[in-house]
Each structure stands twice: as C-alpha cells, then as structure tokens.
C-alpha cells in the first residue's frame, strides 16, 4: 500500500534519470469501484504545471521517486477528462460524506493499492489521526504508532472505501463517482439532515441545493436546528422555497415558517396553494409549545354513519404525500369527533361493517392550547400512535402523531440535560469529549489557580505566598458548593413545574436554600476553628 502523501513532492525522473519535476497530483477515472490512477500531474521547470498519462509514461514508482518510460522531450501532455478527478486538488483535506457510516468526515490522506508494478488504484480515504500525522511527516506517524502500541491502544487506520464516499463540494457533482456508488440521493432524509447539519456552513446550501423538491422537504422536516433550517431556506429562491413548503407536512412547514422574518414568511405563504396556505396559517395561530403548533390538520375522517368500505375508499383517494394514516376518525355533521377506528379494524372487518361498531368512543383527546410535553406524555402513557386535537365544542381540528411527540420528548430531554449541566450532543462527547469533560468537572480548580495567581501578583510581596495560599485554602470548598447550589436549583427546576399545584412553593425553596447556606457556612467556620487549633496550637504567632 502507498499513500498519496508519500507520493506528493517526490521527484519525477525521465528515462535518462533527469529530473523533470515534482509530483503535485494524481488524476483518477471515477467510474470504477476502485478507480485507476489515469494521470500524473507534476510541477515542471519554472513551476509549470504538467499533466501526462499514467499508463503511457509511468514506468515505476515508490515513496521516493517516480520513473518515466520516456525522455523529457518525448512526453505528451494530457488534459483532465470530464469523468476524472484530481486527488490532491479535489479530495484531499476536503469534507466528504461517508455514505456507509452516514457522517461527514475530512479526508486526511488517500490510500492507494500498488499491488501491480504499473497500475495504481485508489482504495479509499484515510479519515483518522494517522492520516494527519503522515501528512505532517511520516516519522510522526511512526512515533505515534509506537507510543500507542506501548500504551496498549493501537492506532487503527480509518479508511472509507471509495464506493462509500460522496463528494460534497459539488463542483464535481456531474462526475459519476462509481458504478456502484451510493450517494446522498439514496439516503434516508433523516440521515441527509444529520449530514447537512455537520457540514461546514458554506457547504450546506450547496449540498441542499442538489436535492430534489421531495428530498428537500423531507430533510427539512428532520433538521434539529430550526434556525439553520430557516437559513437554508433563505438560500433557496422564493418559488423553490414555497414549493418545498407545500411538499412538507403542515406542522413541519408551520414550524419552519415561524422561524422566518414576517415579510419573507408572508411572501412564501402567498406563493403557496390556498389549501396548504390555510393549513399552515391555522397552525401558526396557536402559541408556541402548544399541541396546536405540532398537530397536523391532515386527518383521515369519515362520517359517523360510514362503513368499512367507505373508509377504504376514502383512504384510496388520499394524495401520496398525505400524512401517514394510523387511525380513521369518525365525525358527525358538525365536524365533532364521534369515534376512532384503528387501521387494523378496517383490514380485518367485512366491507359492509358499520364503522360505529368498530369505533372506540371513549376517546383520549387534547386541546390545541395544551402543552406539547403533556400531550407527548399522554401519547406515551396511553400507547397511542396519534392523539386527536379537538376544539372546546368537540370539533376535530387535527392530530398529534407519535413522531412529533417523540421530537417533543427528545427536545425536552436535550433541554433538561443542558440545564443539568450535561451535553445533549452525542458527537461532541465523542470527539475530544474527555478533555471537555475534564475541564467542565474541574472548573473550580482552574478558578482556584487563577485566584491564587492573581492574589500573589496583586499583593506584590506585601503578603508572603504562604499566607496567600493559606487564605485561599478554603476557596475550593466554596467553589464546589457554589456548583452544588446550582445543581440544587436545576434539580428543583427540572422536577417541579411552577403551574403544578402540588409543587413546593418558592418560599419553601428559598427558606431551604437559606438554611443550607447557613448550615454549610457554619460547618466551614467550625472547620476553620478546628484547623487553626490543630495547626497553630502552641505557636507564638497563633491567635
């Protein structure tokens, strides 16, 4: 095996052994599972960039030099073909999508197969630390490997095979990368959204623009970061943006529109169809964090006198992009919810069966003004796939589906974790997480060090260093307890809802806090007295 980093900068020698330049890049033909190296690019005399055919002119190569078959004057220049990519220029140090592991990675080096003496093929991209070290200097990689082995943690290569790579800098998007290539286009919208969120901001719009309307709409609904989704939407032209909004479920579209500024939102809504526009405007009328905001108005309903056959007929007539149907709802002439029939009931019953015989009439419903979290908890509690949202007069307004409830739960959980001082971002804890964790857990220690240093400098020798250290000896206790006091607050905050009648009162909380402060402060003073007596007992400088 040989790496691109080992070839770059090597001298290129002609058949007479004369140096004609230094290797600057390699071209590959992209339409293969393991692409062949097709061109050699090198810097000729006077830094002239030259490209020649690998097959025609390269005789041998290793990590020290490249030997050509011909003398310098016989070389014929070639040009990059439409299906060719330059490894150093287009792939090295660039972000790529690992379509197998569904993540964004940076290419630190490229691994080539040199099993044949003349033919060189690209195996994949090295995305781990070894690639970086090798690129800096091969000796660094060797030292790191030896050290890692000594400490029992071998440093594995992290290679992504070419057929699992997708380039995100889509200047090359017209290049078909591989015959069996899996690209972003084949991935699930949730994975596409994850990948776009992890990209450099400048690349996000570029990649997003490559998706078709349906993919954009699906991916947009999956973004965790609403502000980023709105920003991406801003990068589209207005017709595209409004078409994408029309493709989205009304609840997702409403959430996105609420992130836009008023003028932009109005403009996009006006470009949409009347029906979609009305559905989104209706949802936007409800307060944030209420069931009304996350419900969808796309509900499968039939009259309360309908039969199974009527319901099936209605389902067949729904648009392809209609919200996933889990239940069929029965409504009376005034639009009031009269019952609900699960899909299974329709499948196993005879067509002429009246739905009223199958329907559950003892319904669990939500009001559009109910808190989202309470609705999500009820969906989990009653094992529902969707919960109907009804107005005060019993009219069916929409449904909150289990996937939206899960999103609410996930957001609440992430928020609680953040308040509790943890990190809701799994990736962050994966990359360099130990160091961040160490810093977070020991902030008190760094603050203590700073105070001691500032104290020693500020007194300028007026007070001896030993006295400064003694004066600061109790500070860690105060710092750790300050951290604990915040935990006391955050625990209370997470456990008690201020609107809950049974929750402890603010007066009680304040009183308990004061008591704790007095008790722990007194304990600290007692400790001071005990230490002074023990350390300075019998000392002439004692108190």
Partner 1 sequence: MSGALTAGFLGAAVAIFVSFASSPVYLAILRRREERNQETSGFALSVVAMLVTVAVFGVTLVALAGPLGMLA
Which positions from 396 to 415 touch partner 1 by CB under 8 A, shown as an x/- string?
-------------------x
Q: Given candidates 155, 314, 315, 474, which one binds partner 1 under the rule CB under 8 A?
A: 474
Give residues with Cβ within 8 angstroms of 516, minimum separation 6. 485, 488
- Is 418 one of the binding residues for partner 1 (CB under 8 A)? yes
C-alpha–C-alpha distance, residues 154 and 136, integer Å = 20
Name the minimum Å distance from CB 431 to partner 1. 18
Distances (CA, A) of 535 to 457, 465, 472, 529: 26, 18, 16, 10
Q: Given candidates 203, 271, 451, 503, which one binds partner 1 under the rule CB under 8 A?
A: 451
Give whichever of 285 and 517 is closer to partner 1, judged by the CB atom: 517
| Torsion angle in degrees (nearest 10) through CA of 12, 16, 18, 21 | -30
- Is 226 one of the binding residues for partner 1 (CB under 8 A)? no
Q: For the chain, first and last CA: distance in Å?
A: 76
C-alpha–C-alpha distance, residues 321 and 245, integer Å = 12
Is the Cβ–Cβ distance between 366 and 388 less than 8 Å?
A: yes
Cβ neighbours, 10 Å, residue 67: 16
C-alpha–C-alpha distance, residues 241 and 231, integer Å = 11
- Is 486 one of the binding residues for partner 1 (CB under 8 A)? yes
Structure tokens at 371: 């808190």
Name the minimum Å distance from CB 386 to partner 1. 25
Give whichever of 391 and 474 is closer to partner 1, judged by the CB atom: 474
Which positions from 254 to 293 touch partner 1 by CB under 8 A, shown as an x/- string?
----------------------------------xx----
Q: Given candidates 157, 231, 281, 444, which one binds partner 1 under the rule CB under 8 A?
A: 444
Name the minimum Å distance from CB 489 to partner 1. 4
Cβ neighbours, 10 Å, residue 12: 27
Q: Given candidates 83, 481, 500, 502, which one binds partner 1 under the rule CB under 8 A?
A: 481
- 3-state SS track over 254-273: HHHHHHCCHHHHHHHHHHCC
Name the minimum Å distance from CB 359 to partner 1. 38
Give whichever of 203 and 471 is closer to partner 1, judged by the CB atom: 471
Give whichever of 11 and 455 is closer to partner 1, judged by the CB atom: 455
Radius of gyration for the chain, computed over Cα atoms and rounded to the nearest angstrom: 33
Residue among 166, 227, 223, 236 nearest 197 (CA): 223
Give whichever of 348 and 480 is closer to partner 1, judged by the CB atom: 480
Name the minimum Å distance from CB 470 to partner 1. 4
Distances (CA, A) of 227 to 220, 255, 338, 347: 11, 10, 39, 42
Give residues with Cβ within 8 angstroms of 31, minimum separation 6. 83, 176, 177, 178, 179
Name the minimum Å distance from CB 245 to partner 1. 22
According to CB under 8 A, which residues from 497 to 536 bind partner 1? 498, 506, 509-510, 513-514, 516-518, 520-522, 524-525, 527-528, 531-532, 535-536
Q: Rounded to 5 degrees, what are φ and ψ at 350?
A: -65, 150
Per DSSP, helices labelled H in 420-471 are 426-430, 433-441, 443-459, 465-471
The site that binds partner 1 (CB under 8 A) totals a number of residues, namely 62
Name the minimum Å distance from CB 520 to partner 1. 5
Q: Given candidates 421, 427, 438, 453, which one binds partner 1 under the rule CB under 8 A?
A: 421
According to CB under 8 A, which residues from 322 to 381 bind partner 1? none
Q: Given candidates 74, 440, 449, 495, which one binds partner 1 under the rule CB under 8 A?
A: 440
- Summarize as ranges the residues that interact with partner 1 (CB under 8 A): 288-289, 415, 418-422, 440, 443-444, 447, 451, 462-463, 466-468, 470-475, 477-479, 481-483, 485-490, 492-493, 498, 506, 509-510, 513-514, 516-518, 520-522, 524-525, 527-528, 531-532, 535-536, 539, 541-543
């Amino acid at each position: 095996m040989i790496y691109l980093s080992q070839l770059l900068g090597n001298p290129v020698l002609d058949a007479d052994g004369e140096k004609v330049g230094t290797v600057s890049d390699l071209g590959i033909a992209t339409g293969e599972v393991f692409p062949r190296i097709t061109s050699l690019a090198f810097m000729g005399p006077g830094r002239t960039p030259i490209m020649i055919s690998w097959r025609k002119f390269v005789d041998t190569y290793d990590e020290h030099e490249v030997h050509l078959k011909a003398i310098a004057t016989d070389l014929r220049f070639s040009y990059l073909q439409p299906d060719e990519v330059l490894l150093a220029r287009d792939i090295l140090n660039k972000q790529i999508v690992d379509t197998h592991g569904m993540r964004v990675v940076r290419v630190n080096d490229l691994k080539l197969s040199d099993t044949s003496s003349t033919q060189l093929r690209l195996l994949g991209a090295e995305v781990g630390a070894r690639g970086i070290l090798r690129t800096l200097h091969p000796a660094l990689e060797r030292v790191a490997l030896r050290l890692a082995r000594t400490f029992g943690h071998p440093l594995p290569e992290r290679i992504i095979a070419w057929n699992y790579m997708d380039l995100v800098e889509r200047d090359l998007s017209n290049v078909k990368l591989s015959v069996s290539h899996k690209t972003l286009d084949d991935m699930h919208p949730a994975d596409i959204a994850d990948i776009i969120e992890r990209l450099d901001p400048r690349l996000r719009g570029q990649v997003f623009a490559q998706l078709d309307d349906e993919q954009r709409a699906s991916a947009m609904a999956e973004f965790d970061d609403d502000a980023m989704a709105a920003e991406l939407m801003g990068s589209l032209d207005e017709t595209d943006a409004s078409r994408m909004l029309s493709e989205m479920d009304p609840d997702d579209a409403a959430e996105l529109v609420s992130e836009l500024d008023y003028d932009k939102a109005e403009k996009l809504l006006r470009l949409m169809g009347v029906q979609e526009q009305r559905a989104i405007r209706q949802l936007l009328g409800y307060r944030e964090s209420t069931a009304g905001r996350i419900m969808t108005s796309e509900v499968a309903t039939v009259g309360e006198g309908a039969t199974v056959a009527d319901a099936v007929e209605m389902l067949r007539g729904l648009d392809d992009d209609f919200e996933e149907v889990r239940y069929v709802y029965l409504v009376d002439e005034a639009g009031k919810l009269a019952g609900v029939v699960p899909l299974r009931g329709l499948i196993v019953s005879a067509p002429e069966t009246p739905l009223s015989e199958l329907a559950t009439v003892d319904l669990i419903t939500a009001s559009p003004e109910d808190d989202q979290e309470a609705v999500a908890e009820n969906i989990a509690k009653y094992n529902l796939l969707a919960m109907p949202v009804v107005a005060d007069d019993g009219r069916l307004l929409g449904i909150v589906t289990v996937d939206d409830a899960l999103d609410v739960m996930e957001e609440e959980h992430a928020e609680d974790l953040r308040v509790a001082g943890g990190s809701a971002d799994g990736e962050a804890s994966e990359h360099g997480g130990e160091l961040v964790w160490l810093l977070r857990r020991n902030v008190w220690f760094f603050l203590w060090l700073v105070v001691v240093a500032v104290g020693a400098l500020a007194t300028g020798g007026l007070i001896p260093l030993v006295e400064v250290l003694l004066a600061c000896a109790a500070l860690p206790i105060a710092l750790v307890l300050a951290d604990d006091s915040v935990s006391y607050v955050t625990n209370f905050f997470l456990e008690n809802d201020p609107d809950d009648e049974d929750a402890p009162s603010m007066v009680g909380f304040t009183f308990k806090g004061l008591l704790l402060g007095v008790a722990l402060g007194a304990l600290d003073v007692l400790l001071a007295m005990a230490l002074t007596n023990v350390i300075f007992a019998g000392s002439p400088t004692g108190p």
